[in-house]
């Protein structure tokens, strides 16, 4: 189970195993992960939500099913066919079960898809020790768990669950048959193709699991009643005799669950009873299984409700404790040698040295005064320069430094956003160049750019705006391998070129039907500049570098004296509004540009860059508080500590 986004929320234990970030995948994600509304649990298989009913179902084990089956001759034993247990029961040929049902009876999973173990990640101790969750809590106010049924892993889980419930339906049909006959046998019988015709039952494990999970969801005072009504040996004895009253059991379960779950789950519980009743009346095993499936979906939803309530209740503690928790965790890993951080230290020292050289060169070339970074901020500025360089470079980095393990997904999202903005600048430049080449100029460039940007962005993001991407909700279906957006732009090249050509024809007052002589040169220029690290890309890359660094450092200055919670809360308000109309322009030594945060009426690009800078500053300041004393400034701090006695 995991936490979104997205992103996998795997609990990081104190063992010696390798560290993993759930986002490299949350993740976001789940098993359990963040996204959408608080109460949206996204049960993709709606059959587990909609009503199906049942009542008394006479299903029983065959007589003598508890006897041990005779040994299987060595000549007919087969690989992957586990030996039958003493509980094994036979598959009656008279039922006419198909090969798939027989295979599922023998090989499908033995326990329900929802168990106490699978839900254990939602327990409070696991929530409090989940590093991914602690980190995500700093960046997502609406962080919560939900089932993750997307992607390859989710599809595999859905198939395993479907196979389990199908096998249970066949098992119930066999119980009914054996309860109605007197010639049941547990002898090891083979079908015509030589496969074994016995299987180990699943209902005992289902009732045990049901008992265990419900006990985790209700107060201890109700446990005796649960033990009494879900006494597994008694239930199995009733099943073998064909006298189990499933409808009465379902009604009791619904009443119990409605007493302790949120009112929004009451209708779901009533649907479960209706399903059990319908199946009992019609003697349809699949309807009974639908009711049981709904029952376990309710239990999972209740556990999610509890976990999400705990996340909201402990959110402040999780955020404020982020830095000391991570420092203690990583220090322990480093002491045991299970987390190698020296490459990250060498990376930081190299970018810090490069920053010194860039500053020296800029000082030598400087002809006009430039705002300089305070000495106390220079070590942190070097960190921002190193990370922003990886966000801006044309080719994707192999990976971000290991110390950014739990921020890597956020950084990949920022990189994709930055690269899309550069591509957007290139497309706008191609449009302006074509118009200017024909001796025409835009009468309202700001309005035209805003419309141009909106149209191209909608083509690229299927309606998802840039703000949502920066907020940590990337398109999970994006299979661009370099996280640059290049593949999406390439796949939509013709549409983008056509859109640019339409804008050009409108600006030049040409026929609105775009001719090939207009679209062909635009498409060729677009394809070349998006596929190569051209001079045009380098120009916009450097321009973006200066703007992002300036905005990031402005935000970092504001965040440094704040607590983690205050930084988190500050993300809700635009930085320009927080600084006020009198805020001065901000520059950075060595940057090729500066951005003003003084205007409350920001252009679309300024607004984008401001949000990027705020997010990058948030990541960087928290990261610096954890790793500066542990790694980046370790030698300087040790030197100061050695000198202090001498000074005294």
3-state secondary structure 158-203: HHHHHHHHHHHHHHHHHHHHHHHCCCCCCCCCECCCCCECEECCCH
Q: Could you tell me the two tokens for 600?
A: 């409350």
* Nearest to 348, CA basis, from 408, 403, 409, 411: 403
Residue pair 285/172 in contact (Cβ under 8 Å)? The answer is: yes
Q: Is 270 helix (H, G, I), strand (E, B) or coil?
A: helix
Cα(first)–Cα(last) distance of the chain, in Å? 55
Give the integer Cα–Cα distance in Å for 403 and 510: 55
Task: List the chain domain ranges.
Answer: 41-71+80-119+168-317, 404-532
Q: Which two tokens stand for residue 9?
A: 């929320």
pLDDT for residue 148? 77
- Cα 500 to Cα 423: distance, rounded to the nearest angstrom: 13
Q: How far, in Å, CA of 93 to CA of 83, rounded? A: 20
Inter-residue contact 146 to 27 (CB < 8 Å): no
> By the 8 A CB rule, do 254 and 270 touch?
yes
pLDDT at 400: 94
Question: CA 551 to CA 617: how far, in whole Å?
Answer: 9
The residues near 591 (Cβ < 8 Å, ≥ 6 apart) are 545, 546, 549, 550
| Tokens 């997307």, located at residue | 150
Tell me the H-state helices in 493-572. 493-508, 516-531, 535-559, 564-570
Note the pLDDT of residue 66: 35
State CA 565 to chain mean position distance.
22
**pLDDT in the model for residue 643:** 65
- The pLDDT assigned to 367 comes to 54
Nearest 5°: the CA angle 256, 289, 261 is 25
Regions in the chain scoring below 70 on pLDDT: 1-85, 182-196, 366-373, 461-486, 512, 574-601, 640-648
Q: Which two three-digit tokens encode residue 570?
A: 């500050």
Q: Tell me the helices (H) and strands (E) count for the chain, helix number first.
A: 25, 4
Contact status, residue 473 vs residue 6, Cβ threshold 8 Å: yes
d(CA 3, CA 13): 15
Cβ atoms of 283 and 250 closer than 8 Å: no
Strand partners, 196: 190
The answer to whether the beta carbons of residues 507 and 433 sit under 8 Å apart is no
Pull the structure tokens for residue 85.
Answer: 């247990």
Q: Which of 187, 140, 175, 168 is nearest to 27 (CA)?
A: 140
Closest CA to 282 of 312, 250, 246: 246
Find out whether 412 and 615 touch, Cβ atoms under 8 Å: no
- Encode 201-217 in three state secondary structure: CCHHHHHHHHHHHHHHH
> Among residues 476, 333, 560, which one has the least CA distance to residue 34?
476
Cα 240 from chain centroid (whole Å): 44
DSSP 70: P
Q: Which residues of 410-430 are buried (b: 16+ CB within 10 A; e: fewer)?
A: bbbbbbbbbbbbbbbbbbbeb
State the DSSP code for 616: H
Question: What is the C-alpha separation between 114 and 97, in angstroms, rounded?
Answer: 27
pLDDT of res. 440: 75
Residue 420 has a pLDDT of 92
Nearest to 177 by CA among 338, 62, 299: 62
pTM of the model: 0.76
Contact between residue 616 and residue 548 where contact means Cβ atoms under 8 Å apart: yes
In three-state form (DSSP H/G/I as H, E/B as E, the rest C), the secondary structure along 455-515 is: HHHHHHHCCCCHHHHHCCCCCCCCCCCCCCCHHHHHHCHHHHHHHHHHHHHHHHCCCCCCC
How many other β-carbons are positioned within 10 Å of the β-carbon of residue 565?
17
The pLDDT score that the predictor gives to residue 21 is 35
CA distance 613 to 248: 60
């Amino acid at each position: 189970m995991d936490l979104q986004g997205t992103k996998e929320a795997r609990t990081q234990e104190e063992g010696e195993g390798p560290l993993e970030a759930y986002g490299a995948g949350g993740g976001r994600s789940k098993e359990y992960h963040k996204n959408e509304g608080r109460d949206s649990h996204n049960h993709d298989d709606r059959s587990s939500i909609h009503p199906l009913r049942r009542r008394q179902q006479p299903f029983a084990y065959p007589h003598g099913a508890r006897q041990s089956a005779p040994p299987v001759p060595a000549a007919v034993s087969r690989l992957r066919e586990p030996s039958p247990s003493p509980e094994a029961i036979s598959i009656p040929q008279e039922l006419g079960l198909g090969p798939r049902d027989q295979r599922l009876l023998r090989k499908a999973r033995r326990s329900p898809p929802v168990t106490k173990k699978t839900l254990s990640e939602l327990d409070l101790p696991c929530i409090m020790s989940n590093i991914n969750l602690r980190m995500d809590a700093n960046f997502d106010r609406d962080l919560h768990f939900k089932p993750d049924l997307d992607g390859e892993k989710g599809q595999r889980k859905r198939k395993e669950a479907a196979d389990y419930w199908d096998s249970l339906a066949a098992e119930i049909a066999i119980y009914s048959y054996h309860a109605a006959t007197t010639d049941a046998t547990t002898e090891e019988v083979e079908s015509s193709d030589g496969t074994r015709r016995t299987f180990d039952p699943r209902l005992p494990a289902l009732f045990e699991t049901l008992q265990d999970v419900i006990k985790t969801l209700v107060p201890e005072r109700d446990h005796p009643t649960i033990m009494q009504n879900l006494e597994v040996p008694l239930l199995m004895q009733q099943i073998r005799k064909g006298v189990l009253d499933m409808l009465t059991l379902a009604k009791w379960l619904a009443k119990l669950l409605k007493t302790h779950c949120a009112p929004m789950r009451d209708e779901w519980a009533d649907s479960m009873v209706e399903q059990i009743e319908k199946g009992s009346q019609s003697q349809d095993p699949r309807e009974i299984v639908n009711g049981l499936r709904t029952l376990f979906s309710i239990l999972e939803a209740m556990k999610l409700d509890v976990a999400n309530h705990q996340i909201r209740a402990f959110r402040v503690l999780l955020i404020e404790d982020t830095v000391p928790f991570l420092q203690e965790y990583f220090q322990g890993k480093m002491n045991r040698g299970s987390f190698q951080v020296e490459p990250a230290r060498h990376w930081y020292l190299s970018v810090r040295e490069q920053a010194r050289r860039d500053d020296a060169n800029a000082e030598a070339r400087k002809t006009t005064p430039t705002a300089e970074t305070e000495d106390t901020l220079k070590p942190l500025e070097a960190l921002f320069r190193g990370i922003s360089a990886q966000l801006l470079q044309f080719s994707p980095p192999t990976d971000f430094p290991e110390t950014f393990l739990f921020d890597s997904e956020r950084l990949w999202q920022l990189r994709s956003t930055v690269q899309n903005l550069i591509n957007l600048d290139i497309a706008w430049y191609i449009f302006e160049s074509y118009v200017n080449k024909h001796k025409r100029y835009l009468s309202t460039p700001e309005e035209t750019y805003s419309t141009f940007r909106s149209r191209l962005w909608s083509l690229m993001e299927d309606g998802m705006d840039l703000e949502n991407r920066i907020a940590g909700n990337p398109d999970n279906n994006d299979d661009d391998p370099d996280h640059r957006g290049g593949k999406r732009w390439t796949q939509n090249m013709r549409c983008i070129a056509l859109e640019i050509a339409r804008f050009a024809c409108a600006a030049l007052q040409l026929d609105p039907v775009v001719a090939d002589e207009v679209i062909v040169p635009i498409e060729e220029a677009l394809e070349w500049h998006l596929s190569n690290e051209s001079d045009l890309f380098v120009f916009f890359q450097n321009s973006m570098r200066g703007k992002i660094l300036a905005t990031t450092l402005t935000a970092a200055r504001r965040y440094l004296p704040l607590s983690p919670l205050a930084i988190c809360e500050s993300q809700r308000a635009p930085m320009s509004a927080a600084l006020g109309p009198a805020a001065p322009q901000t520059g950075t030594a060595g940057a090729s540009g500066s951005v003003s945060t003084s205007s409350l009426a920001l252009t679309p690009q300024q607004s984008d860059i401001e949000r990027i800078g705020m997010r990058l500053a948030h990541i960087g300041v928290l990261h610096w508080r954890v790793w500066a004393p542990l790694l980046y400034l370790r030698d300087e701090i040790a030197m100061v500590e050695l000198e202090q006695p001498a000074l005294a």
